[in-house]
Amino acid sequence: MRGCQVVASVAVVVATAAHAPADVVTAWNGVLLDTIRAERLAPPQASRVMAIVSTAVYDAVNAADPRHAAYRPTQPAPGASAEAAAAQAAHDALAILFPAWEADYAARLAADLDAIPAGPARSAGVAVGAAVARAAVDARATDGAAAAGAWYDVGLAAPGRWRPTPPGHAAPLVPGWSAVKPFGIPSASVFLPPPPPALGSPEYVAEVAEVKMLGSWSGSPRTADQTQIAFFWADGAGTATPPGHWNQIAAAVADSRGLGLAETARLLAMLDVALADAAIAAWDAKYHYDVWRPVTAIRQAEEVAATAAFGDDTWTPLLPTPPFPEYVSGHSTFSAAAATVLAACFGTDDIPFVAVSDAFGPGVTRSFSSFSAAAAEAGMSRIYGGIHFASGNVAGADLGQAIGGYVATRLFAPVPEPGSATLAATAILVLAACCLGRRGALAARRRRPDTADT
């Protein structure tokens, strides 16, 4: 049966290694993440770029080696070199999106093509890669991303409503991102989560107390491990960003399991589409509910009678507060979407791996027993960091899981092999069982993640 294979569980370090021929996909994926770091893209912007490039690579590879349903209508190219198609598609998509880096991309492409024997197969691969990349970029030219920084009223500082946060009091980040055209889901509004706890409710009061205690810069009973968790998953400006962190994890797990070129391209495309849609849906919820951040809730605690006793106008979170509303947590949404897609693709959630972080480099790692364990820890990291409430974490995880499940069951389906007419139905049943199992596991881990090693 075609699709991601389930193999024996072996812990792997998240790093790029050679596994021909899939290394051309993982190598260009590394170039993509380096570009995101260099351009200092915000998470929604990074996720959009990742989805454009990864779907272009996927469609180019799939045209040469048609194993799955195309993402965009693509002319089959039998006999074309899939490696040449992948390299050309990645190069062209990135060069169109980031022309300032074209010389670096060109050098990488030349090395890749030099490694492929000259002839009709390489030429055909180059042609299909170029055509697919252009189609991928053109398809998103008017997707709404260019207008995502639209004006947003921050003048109505009503209790509970988001307002710019210290120390920089920055303007809100891409408040119009919810209007960006999704890559896989029908619309963000379909996935809008239920509202957060009401101001002054017992649940709200408990959340304020929790984050004030665990997320404080100083005087917190937070453990050293919890502090490391906060920084490990911080993924701020200049890093691969939260979606890029999961992209890096996925590429390394695929590499460690020896996935071929087509399967690696499919995995990254499926993942990046889910992550891009997770950003759109999370931003839709953020600006729909417009919830203030913990630093505001604590420093202006007297605005809500039930939390007046928690007021502290000097309270500072461990991590810098991002400039956009709290509910839902983007980290939780990205992480649950990624964990759901990865569990679906590999047929099991229980795959141990070891991850690294841009915050520390390769010297500090964290070990996980499953994708959902890592997602739960990433969600809790924002509470340890003092920048999210528990309800934002839980709702984000539910949102991400729903989006990941939608993408995994409706896009990139394997083409049935001869004699396998029931393949698609079987795959959906396997995924449904996997997601149902993950739902309980993720809910159980959401508030208290597994201990991880360093």
Buried b (16+ CB within 10 A) or exposed e, 125-153: bbbbbbbbbebbbebbeebebeebeeebe
Q: What torsion, rounded to 10 degrees, do the Cα atoms 314, 317, 318, 320 define?
A: -110
Residue of 364, 282, 355, 376 lying closest to 322 (CA atoms): 282
Q: Residue 39 domain-assigned?
A: yes
Distance CA 253, CA 319 (A): 29
> Which of 227, 262, 243, 214 lies closest to 81 in space, CA to CA?
262
Whole-prediction pTM value? 0.89
Torsion of the alpha carbons at 454, 334, 67 and 105, rounded to the nearest 10: -80
Amino acid letter for position 176: G
DSSP result, 326-391: -SS-HHHHHHHHHHHHHHHHHT-S---EEEEETTTEEEEEEEESSHHHHHHHHHHHHHHTTS--HH
The answer as to whether 436 is a domain residue is yes
For residues 106, 108, 109, 110, the Cα torsion angle rounded to the nearest 10 degrees is: 80
Query: How far apart, in whole angstroms, are the C-alpha atoms of residue 430 and residue 437?
Result: 11
> Are 245 and 251 a contacting pair, CB within 8 Å?
no
CB distance 5 to 257 below 8 Å: yes
d(CA 230, CA 383): 8
Task: With respect to residue 288, please indicate whether it lies within any of the assigned structural domains.
Answer: yes
The Cα–Cα gap between 46 and 248 comes to 13
pLDDT for 157 equals: 78
d(CA 392, CA 388): 6
Question: Residue 442 in contact with residue 397, Cβ under 8 Å?
Answer: yes
**Residue 450 maps to a domain:** no
Q: Would 452 be classed as within a structural domain?
A: no
Give the SS3 label for residue 43. helix
Residue-level pLDDT at 121: 98
- For 12, residues 6+ apart whose C-beta sits below 8 A from its C-beta are 252, 253, 255, 256, 352, 353, 354
What letters, b where the CB count within 10 A reaches 16 and e where it falls short, cover 102-120? Answer: eebbeebbeebbeebeeee
Specify whether the CB–CB gap between 317 and 305 falls below 8 A: no
Contact 38, 277 (CB under 8 A): no
Half-sphere exposure of 226 (CA within 13 A, CB side): 20
Return the exposure string of 183-213: e unless at least 16 CB atoms fall within 10 Å of the residue's CB, then b.
bbbeebeebbbeebbebeeeebbebbeebbe
Which domain, by its residues, includes 355?
23-445
11 in any annotated domain: no
Residue 9 lies in a domain: no
Residue 119 neighbours by CB under 8 Å, 6+ apart: none
Do residues 309 and 443 make contact, with C-beta atoms less than 8 angstroms apart? no
Q: Tokens 């991002």 identify what position?
A: 322
Report which residue type is found at 296. Answer: T
Q: Could you give the 3-state DSSP secondary structure of residue 29?
A: helix
Question: What's residue 446's pLDDT?
Answer: 44
Asked if the structure places residue 14 within a domain, the reply is no
Instruction: Output the domain CATH number for residue 377.
Output: 1.10.606.20
Question: What's the CA gap between 229 and 233, in Å, rounded?
Answer: 6
Q: How many domains does the chain have?
A: 1
First to last CA, the chain: 37
pLDDT in tens, the chain (454 residues): 233 432 222 232 333 333 345 699 999 999 999 999 999 999 999 999 999 999 999 999 999 999 999 999 999 999 999 999 999 999 999 999 999 999 999 999 999 999 999 999 999 999 999 999 999 999 999 999 998 876 666 556 799 999 999 999 999 999 999 999 999 999 999 999 999 999 999 999 999 999 999 999 999 999 999 999 999 999 999 999 999 999 999 999 999 999 999 999 999 999 999 999 999 999 999 999 999 999 999 999 999 999 999 999 999 999 999 999 999 999 999 999 999 999 999 999 999 999 999 988 778 899 999 999 999 999 999 999 999 999 999 999 999 999 999 999 999 998 876 554 444 444 444 444 444 444 444 444 444 333 333 2
Longest dimension (CA), the chain: 75
Q: Which residues contact 328 (CB under 8 A, 6 or more apart)?
A: 193, 282, 285, 286, 392, 395, 396, 399
